[in-house]
């Protein structure tokens, strides 16, 4: 399969998943569904973050990336949950850990 067709297929799969419920909204979501949709963003972002912190190369690795995670949590508390605070303190934690690890 050519790279061009592969990219078009990947685009179709991705856009179809994005468009799914945008065109057909859930009719009067029940309590359970509402609660699920309320907590899903939190679950998604925490899962994305933790996956990057504990397995930056794909396998479990408690290294500088995990230190960035702890730095990010500290940044959230120190800077009232600002994204820049989380990223800034997290990166500081990451680079300090790299120095300590000798990387």
Partner 1 sequence: MPPSFRSLSSFRRGLRDTFPLVPPIAVFGAVFGALAVQAGLSPWLTMLSSLIVLSGAAQVAMAGLLASGAAPVLLATTGLALRHLPMSAALSGLIGDAPVYRRVQLAWVLVDETFGLTVNASRDPSVDLVSFKSAADLVLYVTWLTSTAVGVFLGADVDTSRLGIEVIFPLVFLGLAAPLLRNRRQWLTAGLAVMAAVSAVLVLPSEWRVTAAAIAAAVIGSRVK
Give the residues lining the site for partner 1 (CB under 8 A).
1, 3-4, 6-11, 13-23, 25-26, 29, 32, 35-60, 64-65, 68-69, 72-73, 76, 81-87, 90-91, 94-95, 98
Residue 100 CB, shortest distance to partner 1, in Å, is 15
Residue 38 CB, shortest distance to partner 1, in Å, is 7
HEC letters along 1-65: CCHHHHHHHHHHHHHHHHHHHHHCCCCCCCHHHHHHHHHHHHHHHHHHHHHHHHCCCCCCCCCHH
Residue with the two structure tokens 């925490």: 46
Residue 101 CB, shortest distance to partner 1, in Å, is 13
């Amino acid at each position: 399969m050519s790279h061009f067709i592969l990219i078009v297929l990947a685009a179709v799969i991705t856009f179809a998943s994005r468009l799914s419920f945008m065109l057909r909204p859930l009719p009067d979501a029940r309590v359970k569904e509402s609660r699920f949709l309320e907590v899903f963003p939190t679950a998604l972002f925490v899962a994305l973050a933790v996956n990057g912190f504990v397995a930056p190369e794909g396998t479990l690795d408690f290294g500088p990336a995990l230190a960035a995670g702890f730095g990010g949590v500290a940044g959230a508390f120190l800077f009232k949950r600002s994204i820049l605070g989380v990223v800034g303190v997290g990166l500081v934690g990451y680079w300090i850990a790299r120095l300590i690890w000798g990387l």
